């Protein structure tokens, strides 16, 4: 098909109408993919399996990880949530892609699974968001296997890199914005991660007994949940996102801090032994998420004096409840 035909033009009563006239720029999509290719090694080079309609992951890595049939594939999915609203308001978009990867890989690593690959759906074309997704995958040793950047597919393959990222395959679409669908400057995104864990290495909490110790890993801030409440607190407080309420960074910067990706430190702890269960503290907080790990009849005693509550959380608590 020639470049001219690929523009999907048609003749209408008002003269020749092109796909670009409708708000969809195929050439801009191709340029976006060329620019994304510079963000990670190997992205953009076509392999013999190129020009198909899906991303490919090399099963040789799975076979080297375990024998066929003795492992589980573990999957998780999540979206940007209402934290996206703050990204639009602050103009901070570099961290949202990291948040997207973190929410899925942090879920699947609770079972002891090593992330293998990640796919994303991204309804616009901001490179700074995609750069965050690439960064999140690099932090979790997870292959960015595919993505839908709306909507016509143009697959590319990613070679095995030398930095420990296993597998290959990056299937990116040509970029088409969605005219008249999202408000100017807004977008949506979601992601999906798949990992692997040996059947005899699954972390499921069944061996937890009374007297075991509960250890918390620090967060970078609010992470990616609770932002409906945060935005209500912001509206009620009258504070500007540019203000510095007891910190060295602005309120907007503190709230947009990227979610910590716990994959490497958690897998290291599991290798050392002794980990019986793990909870990813998300929307339900301590109450809902920690209890999901325990066998029936067990609970947890949490000593809140054992760590310093960050000033950001104190501000949210004080405004919400009037006390800390």
Residue located via tokens 């949210």 = 316
Q: In the chain, what percentage of residues exceed pLDDT 70?
A: 64
Tell me how far apart the alpha carbons of residues 54 and 74 are, in angstroms, rounded to a whole number.
20
Q: Are 125 and 216 in contact (CB under 8 A)?
A: no
| pLDDT reported for residue 75 | 95
| pLDDT reported for residue 71 | 87
Tell me how far apart the alpha carbons of residues 3 and 15 are, in angstroms, rounded to a whole number.
20
Look up the pTM and report it.
Answer: 0.78
**Phi and psi at residue 171, in whole multiples of 5°?**
-110, 105
Residue located via tokens 């976006």 = 32
Local structure of residue 276 (DSSP, 8 states): -
The length of the chain in residues reads: 324
72-76, 88-92, 116-120, 172-176: least confident range: 172-176
**Phi and psi at residue 114, in whole multiples of 5°?**
-90, 125
pLDDT, tens only, 290-303: 999 999 999 999 98
Domains and CATH numbers, the chain: 18-201 (3.30.1330.10), 227-321 (3.90.650.10)
| pLDDT reported for residue 26 | 61
Q: Which residue has the higher pLDDT, 207 or 15?
A: 207
Local structure of residue 160 (DSSP, 8 states): P
pLDDT, tens only, 178-209: 556 777 778 889 999 999 999 999 999 999 99
């Amino acid at each position: 098909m020639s470049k001219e035909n690929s523009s999907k033009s048609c003749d209408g009563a008002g003269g020749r109408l092109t796909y670009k006239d409708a708000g969809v720029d195929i050439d801009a999509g191709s340029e976006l993919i060329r620019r994304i290719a510079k963000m990670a090694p190997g992205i953009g080079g076509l392999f013999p399996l190129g020009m198909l309609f899906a991303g490919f992951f090399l099963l040789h890595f799975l076979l080297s990880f375990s024998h066929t049939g003795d492992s589980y594939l573990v999957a998780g999915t999540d979206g940007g949530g209402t934290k996206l609203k703050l990204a639009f308001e602050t103009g901070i978009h570099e961290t949202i892609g990291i948040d997207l990867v973190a929410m899925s890989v942090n879920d699947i690593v609770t079972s002891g699974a090593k992330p293998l690959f990640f796919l994303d759906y991204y309804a616009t074309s901001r490179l700074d968001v995609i750069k965050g997704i690439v960064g999140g995958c690099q932090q979790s040793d997870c292959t960015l296997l595919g993505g839908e950047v709306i909507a016509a597919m143009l697959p590319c393959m990613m070679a095995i890199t030398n930095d420990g990222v296993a597998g290959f395959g990056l299937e990116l679409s040509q970029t088409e914005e969605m005219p008249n669908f999202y408000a100017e400057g807004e977008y949506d995104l979601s992601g999906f991660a798949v990992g692997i864990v040996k059947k005899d290495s699954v972390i499921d909490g069944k061996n937890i007994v009374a007297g075991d110790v509960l250890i918390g890993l620090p967060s970078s801030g609010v992470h990616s949940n609770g932002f409906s409440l945060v935005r209500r607190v912001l509206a009620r407080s009258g504070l500007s996102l540019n203000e510095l309420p007891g910190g060295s960074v602005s309120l907007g910067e503190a709230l947009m801090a990227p979610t910590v990706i716990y994959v490497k430190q958690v897998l290291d702890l599991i290798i050392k032994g002794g980990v019986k269960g793990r909870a990813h503290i998300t929307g339900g907080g301590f109450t809902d998420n920690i209890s999901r790990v325990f066998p029936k009849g067990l609970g947890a005693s949490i000593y809140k004096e054992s760590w310093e509550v960050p000033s950001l959380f104190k501000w949210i608590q004080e405004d919400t409840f009037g006390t800390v």
